[in-house]
């Protein structure tokens, strides 16, 4: 029943391998090795964890990814600069517009293209809406990982649908936006879009209140998230974790504040920080971030100026940036999303590299899960908030 | 529990809180920008009026390479500005709209037809030229504002061309 | 029967309808000259047929009901394609289940694998035999009915463990172990809660318990056990433990799909899976039926002027109310964790159960008047408050304060 051990020799009991003995576990203990995934209801796609269990406690956890590998980076080196824009949608399919922005920013840096002001506003609005979409569906998925039978998920999807309708009328597609272009955005806002967006933003606090009273004060949620999967700040920094998970550990690091890219310096918003770094903090930070996001969206929707949305000098097709390299990063909903490009002055990038927040946050999974119960593994995985499209690329 | 009870009751008392669209009976109203798969625009005649001149820019730019074009040749073997074969494999197409953006002749546009399922996974999913050709009126019906803008641009181009021709005639 | 029942003959005749029907069939057979032993056999068969068909119908209804309720809670429409308002959906599901391929894992213990789904459905049916459905409508009048219920309901875990063990699947095994631990720990509070009723009634027979709850206080408030301090606590305990017994959310750990795929049912498909499914719903009905009989006055009408409605209608109406609450809970709460579940049972519910016994004893001695209220409340409230405080100390339930960086 036991799979062969890592050295290849079939070992009847994994407890006999030296690794467990040094870990301080009783070698007589009967460990149960379970392979969670790749087909498992709550691994968010095709992700696999080889878990060794002592009763219900996790003794060892080995994440195995790559089941969804699609050669994203290699493909991007074979198609034109414009051609890999739609592929970036498919990295983290909840946040396609943030991904678009990060890639567009990298190419703009490489080719030295300016972005008109209206386009900057649209970028901020769409990527903050993306953050709402991501965090809202995060709450739903996380609660269904906890076994809440989809009620929260359905409420979350009900609200998400409103934003996806906005995206559809703007970009033509609900999730695969493919909207940003080098030097601006593909098309201007359709008539009436801003009013519709304002209505959605104004309706959001009521939904957040509903969700908070449903989730944040629920005894079972509290008992299942507080003091579970604690991540100290130094460990989080060492593991180069970014995004809400890092801030839940109390590290003040938000690229919107650090880099002040785009026009984020024009908006007043705060960065919520947690003190415990446990699952509950990671959950609550998302609530608070959504409220801060609304604080950005309201003035942005009010102050958006008229004007062109594309830099007329920027060319999309046959773009041949000068030789050089560029790295651009944005604060995607899940963390720091960066694109690193090297140009050899041809119409294809010589090197194209993504720094995906999901993958790098996921590398800390084992540290978070050791010693917890198997049921907590799902909750911890849920709070890290991964999307397999981005983990495996 | 109060919140779930409230939603339970609201689903009976407030019809707008039930957001499900009952699909086959009520179809979603698609926004103008909605895009699904590309189609080819023709002006008057589905055969000769096709705007596509088979320049193959879209074939080259298509990120997943789902377009396949063979240029038409006349009886002397000289290329004609018409596609002989224009296939789009919609099982590969990812609806990214890049072909639309790069087309200099406004010949390829995004369709909104979504009922495309078939029992066979090969032939019905490769849309050939005949299936892809749709009239300009159809284009107007799905993207009114965009189509009007395109028509204006085309009319301007035609006028300029006619003007150039006239100027050339006058000169000669 | 009150005077009202005379004015509404339909209800009056409905009251005894099931019994009259049975008597009519038996009488007809007797006239045909059937021997006495055969008549007895037919009598038994008729009762069995009666509640089999009623409960299977209820099961069919419940699965539709549950899907509709959950859907409405989640702002969806629920099944609405098959039949009017989707009422035929369970039948369509049944056909699908029956026509599915029955997969047995190669390495599974085939005999046990096949036995488990049969075994799991038996206890539910056995326990049904002793439920008092209405006046004079207890299929098997047992002096020790409540004992049979506990004996039989514990047998479920044998079947669950058989299913988990025979599947030879790690998820099944984990699920089965959880199920056994859970059912064993929640058996105790269940028994403690029922014991308090036994103490007050002085009988182990369910019929006697229901009859003890007849009559009305001040002419309006029914004399149900749930309206006494100890009875309310015992009812809450009983209901929570009953949810755990029947593996309902938030205690559906054995099949917790986000962790264990489907627990002990992982390797079952087709009709065998359907049997697990049926037994889950029937189990829910049975425990709700016992909760009704023990605490909610069984077939007694809630208000004196409503007694013209037949007693068995009341009984089923009360069961359906409890089932609705169970579904509502399922639509609201996430799943608890296995160690929390055990802690909750052993450190909270069981000590409280002991205090419920004390409270019931005080109530019994002090009489059922105001004095009984005053004296029987402290043994419940004080430990509840103390334990809730100790329990809550582990968490910042009041909400945390978060820092903000500018």
Q: Taking CB atoms and an 8 Å cutoff, what residues of chain B touch A85?
A: 96, 98
pLDDT tops 80 at residue C290:
yes
d(CA C308, CA A166): 58
Residue C256 has a pLDDT of: 67
Residues A262/A120, Cβ–Cβ less than 8 Å = yes
Query: How far is the alpha carbon of C62 from chain A, nearest alpha carbon, in Å?
Result: 17
Q: Taking CB atoms and an 8 Å cutoff, what residues of chain C touch B14?
A: none
Contact A172 B96 (CB under 8 A): no
The tokens 């604060």 sit on which residue?
Answer: A331
Residue C64 has a pLDDT of: 83
Residues A76 and A56 in one domain: no
List the single residue in B with minimal CA-CA distance to C72. Answer: B8
Q: What angle do CA B112, B114, B115 make, to 5 degrees?
A: 140
d(CA C43, CA C45): 5
- A85 lies in a domain? yes
- A4 lies in a domain? no
pLDDT tops 60 at residue B126:
yes
Domain boundaries defined on chain B: 31-151
Of A271, A297, A95, A304, nearest to A204 by C-alpha is: A297
- The CATH code of the domain at B31-151 is 3.30.70.3270
**In this complex, which of C74, C76, C328 lies closest to B1 when CB atoms are compared?**
C328
- A354 lies in a domain? yes
- What mean pLDDT is reported for chain C? 76
Subunits next to C (3 or more Cβ pairs <8 Å) are A, B
Residues A25 and A128 in one domain: no
The tokens 């514990």 sit on which residue?
Answer: C154
Interface test with A, best of C73, C258, C261, C348 (most A CBs within 10 A): C258
Residues A248 and A345 in one domain: yes
**Chain segment C305-338, per-residue pLDDT in tens:** 666 667 777 788 888 888 888 888 887 788 888 7
The residue-averaged pLDDT of C119-130 equals 79
Query: How far is the alpha carbon of C298 from chain B, nearest alpha carbon, in Å?
Result: 26
Residues A60 and A201 in one domain: no
The residue-averaged pLDDT of C38-44 equals 74
Residues A48 and A117 in one domain: no
The total of other beta-carbon atoms located within 10 Å of residue A272's CB is: 24
Residue A96 tokens read as: 């396609």
Query: How far is the alpha carbon of A207 from chain C, nearest alpha carbon, in Å?
Result: 14
The total of other beta-carbon atoms located within 10 Å of residue A139's CB is: 25
Residues A81 and A225 in one domain: yes
Contact B4 C73 (CB under 8 A): yes
Q: How far is CA A389 from CA A72, A179, B80, C172, in A?
A: 10, 19, 44, 30
DSSP A8-71: SS--S-GGGSHHHHHTT--TTS--EEEEE-SS-TTSSSS-EEEEEEETTEEEEEEEE--TT---
Query: How far is the alpha carbon of B16 from chain C, nearest alpha carbon, in Å?
Result: 10
Q: How confident is the model at residue C138 (pLDDT cuts 50, 70, 90)?
A: low
DSSP A111-140: HT----HHHHHHHHHHHHHHHHHHHHHHHH
Q: What is the pTM of this model?
A: 0.82
Of A145, A128, A126, nearest to A283 by C-alpha is: A145
Residues 6+ apart with CB under 8 A from C400: A274, A275, A276, A280, A281, A284
Residue B172 has a pLDDT of: 60
Contact B18 C73 (CB under 8 A): no
Residues A22 and A146 in one domain: no
Domain that includes residue A84, residue range: 72-392
Tens-digit pLDDT profile for chain A (393 aa)? 344 444 444 444 444 444 444 444 555 567 778 888 777 777 777 888 888 887 778 888 888 888 888 888 888 888 888 888 888 888 888 888 888 898 988 888 888 888 888 888 888 889 899 999 999 988 888 888 887 777 888 888 888 888 888 888 888 888 888 888 888 888 888 888 888 888 888 888 888 888 888 887 777 888 888 888 888 888 888 888 888 888 888 888 888 888 888 888 888 888 888 888 888 888 888 888 898 888 888 888 888 888 888 887 777 777 888 888 889 888 888 888 889 999 888 888 898 888 888 888 888 888 888 878 888 888 888 888 888 888 887
DSSP-assigned beta bridge partners for residue B127: B88
d(CA C373, CA C375): 6
Residue C399 has a pLDDT of: 65
Residue A14 has a pLDDT of: 47
Residues A304 and A186 in one domain: yes
Q: Taking CB atoms and an 8 Å cutoff, what residues of chain B touch A190?
A: 31-33
Q: What phi, psi does C251 have (nearest 5°)? A: -110, 30
Residues 6+ apart with CB under 8 A from A38: A46, A47, A48, A64, A67
Question: Count of A–B CB contacts within 8 Å?
Answer: 65
Residue A4 has a pLDDT of: 40
List the single residue in A with minimal CA-CA distance to C343. Answer: A223
Query: How far is the alpha carbon of B118 from chain C, nearest alpha carbon, in Å?
Result: 22
Interface test with C, best of A36, A148, A270 (most C CBs within 10 A): A148
The total of other beta-carbon atoms located within 10 Å of residue B55's CB is: 17
Contact C335 A147 (CB under 8 A): yes
The total of other beta-carbon atoms located within 10 Å of residue C147's CB is: 15
List the single residue in C with minimal CA-CA distance to B14. Answer: C75
ipTM of the prediction: 0.79
Q: How confident is the model at residue C257 (pLDDT cuts 50, 70, 90)?
A: low
Residue A49 tokens read as: 């964890």
List the single residue in C with minimal CA-CA distance to A376. Answer: C337
Q: Taking CB atoms and an 8 Å cutoff, what residues of chain A touch C70?
A: 149-151
The dihedral region occupied by C141, where left means phi > 0, alpha psi between -120 and 50, and beta the remainder, is beta
pLDDT tops 60 at residue B77:
yes
d(CA A313, CA A322): 15
Rg (CA), chain A: 22
Contact C329 B1 (CB under 8 A): yes
What is residue A191's three-state secondary structure?
A: coil
Residues A331 and A383 in one domain: yes
CA dihedral B159, B162, B167, B171 (to 10 degrees): 180
The CATH number covering residue A254 comes to 1.10.645.10
- Strands A180-181 and A48-54 turn out to be unpaired
Residue C331's Cβ-count burial label (10 Å; 0-12, 13-18, 19+) is buried
d(CA B44, CA B52): 13
For C378, half-sphere exposure in the C-beta direction (CA atoms, 13 angstrom radius) is: 5
Residue A304 tokens read as: 């958006």
Contact B12 C331 (CB under 8 A): no
Residues A163 and A291 in one domain: yes
B23 CB within 8 Å of a chain C CB:
no
d(CA A336, CA A242): 6
- A1 lies in a domain? no
Residue C288 tokens read as: 């709700």
Q: Taking CB atoms and an 8 Å cutoff, what residues of chain C touch B8?
A: 69, 72-73, 328, 331
């Amino acid at each position: 029943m036991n799979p062969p051990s890592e050295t290849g020799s079939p070992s009847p009991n994994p407890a006999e391998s030296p690794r467990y003995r040094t870990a301080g576990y009783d070698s007589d203990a009967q460990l149960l090795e379970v392979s969670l995934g790749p087909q498992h209801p709550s691994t968010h796609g095709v992700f696999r964890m080889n878990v060794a269990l002592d009763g219900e406690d996790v003794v060892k956890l080995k994440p195995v990814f790559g089941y969804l590998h699609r050669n994203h980076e290699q493909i991007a080196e074979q198609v034109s600069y414009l051609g890999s824009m739609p592929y970036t949608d498919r990295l983290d399919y909840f946040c396609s517009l943030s991904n678009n922005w990060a890639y567009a920013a990298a190419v703009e840096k490489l080719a030295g293209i300016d972005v008109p002001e209206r386009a900057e506003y649209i970028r901020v609005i769409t990527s903050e809406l993306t953050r709402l979409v991501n965090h809202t569906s995060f709450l739903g998925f996380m609660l269904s990982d906890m076994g809440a039978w989809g009620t929260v998920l359905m409420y979350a999807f009900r609200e998400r649908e409103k934003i996806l309708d906005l995206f559809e009328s703007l970009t033509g597609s609900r999730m695969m936006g493919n909207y940003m272009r080098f030097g601006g955005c593909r098309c201007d806002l359709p008539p009436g879009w801003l009013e519709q967006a304002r209505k959605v933003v104004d309706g959001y606090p009521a939904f957040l209140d509903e969700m908070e009273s449903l989730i944040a004060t629920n005894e079972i949620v509290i008992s299942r998230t507080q003091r579970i999967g604690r991540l100290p700040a130094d460990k989080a920094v060492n593991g180069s974790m970014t995004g809400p998970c890092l801030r839940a550990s109390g590290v003040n690091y938000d690229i919107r504040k650090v880099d002040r890219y785009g026009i984020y310096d024009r908006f007043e918003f705060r960065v919520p920080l947690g003190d415990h770094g446990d699952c509950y903090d990671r959950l609550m930070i998302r609530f608070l971030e959504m409220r801060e996001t609304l604080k950005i969206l309201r003035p942005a929707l009010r102050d958006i100026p008229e004007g062109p949305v594309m830099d007329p000098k920027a060319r999309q097709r046959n773009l041949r940036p000068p030789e050089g390299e560029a790295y651009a990063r944005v604060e995607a909903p899940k963390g720091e999303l960066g694109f690193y490009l090297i140009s050899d002055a041809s119409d294809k990038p010589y090197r194209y590299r993504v720094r995906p927040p999901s993958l790098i946050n996921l590398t800390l999974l084992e540290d978070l899960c050791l010693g917890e119960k198997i049921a907590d593994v799902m909750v911890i995985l849920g709070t890290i908030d991964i999307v397999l499209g981005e983990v495996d690329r | 529990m109060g919140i779930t009870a409230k939603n339970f009751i609201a689903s009976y008392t407030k019809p707008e809180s039930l957001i499900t669209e009952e699909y086959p009976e009520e179809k979603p109203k698609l926004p103008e920008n909605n895009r699904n798969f590309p189609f080819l625009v023709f002006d008057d005649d589905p055969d000769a009026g096709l705007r596509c001149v088979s320049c193959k820019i879209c074939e080259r730019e298509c990120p997943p390479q789902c377009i396949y074009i063979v240029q038409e040749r006349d009886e002397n073997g000289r290329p004609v500005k018409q596609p002989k074969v224009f296939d789009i494999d919609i099982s590969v197409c990812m609806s990214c709209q890049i072909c639309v953006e790069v087309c200099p002749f406004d010949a390829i546009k995004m369709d909104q037809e979504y009922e495309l399922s078939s029992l066979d996974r090969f032939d019905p999913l490769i849309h050939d030229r005949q299936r892809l050709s749709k009239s300009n009126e159809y284009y107007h019906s799905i993207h009114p504002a965009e189509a009007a803008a395109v028509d204006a641009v085309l009319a301007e181009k035609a006028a300029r061309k006619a003007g150039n021709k006239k100027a050339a005639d006058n000169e000669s | 029967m009150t005077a009202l029942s005379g004015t509404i003959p339909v209800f009056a005749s409905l009251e005894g309808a099931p019994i009259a029907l049975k008597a009519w069939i038996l009488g007809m057979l007797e006239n045909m000259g059937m021997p006495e032993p055969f008549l007895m056999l037919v009598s038994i068969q008729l009762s069995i047929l009666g509640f089999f068909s009623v409960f299977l119908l209820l099961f069919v209804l419940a699965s539709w009901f549950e899907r509709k309720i959950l859907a409405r809670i989640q702002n969806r429409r629920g099944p609405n394609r098959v039949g009017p308002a989707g009422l035929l959906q369970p039948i369509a599901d049944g056909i699908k289940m029956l026509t599915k391929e029955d997969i047995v894992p190669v390495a599974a213990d085939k005999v046990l694998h096949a036995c488990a789904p049969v075994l799991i459905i038996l206890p539910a049916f056995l326990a049904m035999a002793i439920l008092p459905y209405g006046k004079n409508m207890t299929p098997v009048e047992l002096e020790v009915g409540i004992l049979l219920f506990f004996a039989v309901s514990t047998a479920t875990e044998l079947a669950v463990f058989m299913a988990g063990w025979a599947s030879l699947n790690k998820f099944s095994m984990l699920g089965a172990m959880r199920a056994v631990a859970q059912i064993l720990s929640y058996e105790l509070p269940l028994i403690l809660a029922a014991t308090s009723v036994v103490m007050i009634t002085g009988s182990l027979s369910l019929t006697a318990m229901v009859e003890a709850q007849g009559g009305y206080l001040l002419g309006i408030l029914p004399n149900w056990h749930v309206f006494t301090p100890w009875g309310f606590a015992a009812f809450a305990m009983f209901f929570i433990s009953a949810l755990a017994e029947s593996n309902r959310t938030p205690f559906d750990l054995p099949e917790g799909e986000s962790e264990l795929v489907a627990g002990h049912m992982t390797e079952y498909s087709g009709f065998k899976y359907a049997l697990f499914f049926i037994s889950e719903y029937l189990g829910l009905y049975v425990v709700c039926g016992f909760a009704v009989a023990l605490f909610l006055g069984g077939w007694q009408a809630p208000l004196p002027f409503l007694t013209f409605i037949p007693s068995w209608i009341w009984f089923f109406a009360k069961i359906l109310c409890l089932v609705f609450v169970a579904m509502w809970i399922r639509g609201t709460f996430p799943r608890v964790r296995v160690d929390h579940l055990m802690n909750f049972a052993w450190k909270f519910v069981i000590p409280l159960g002991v205090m419920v016994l004390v409270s019931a004893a005080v109530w019994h001695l002090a009489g059922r008047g105001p004095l009984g209220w005053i004296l029987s409340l402290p043994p419940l409230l004080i430990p509840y408050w103390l334990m809730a405080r100790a329990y809550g100390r582990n968490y910042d339930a009041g909400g945390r304060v978060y820092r903000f960086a500018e």
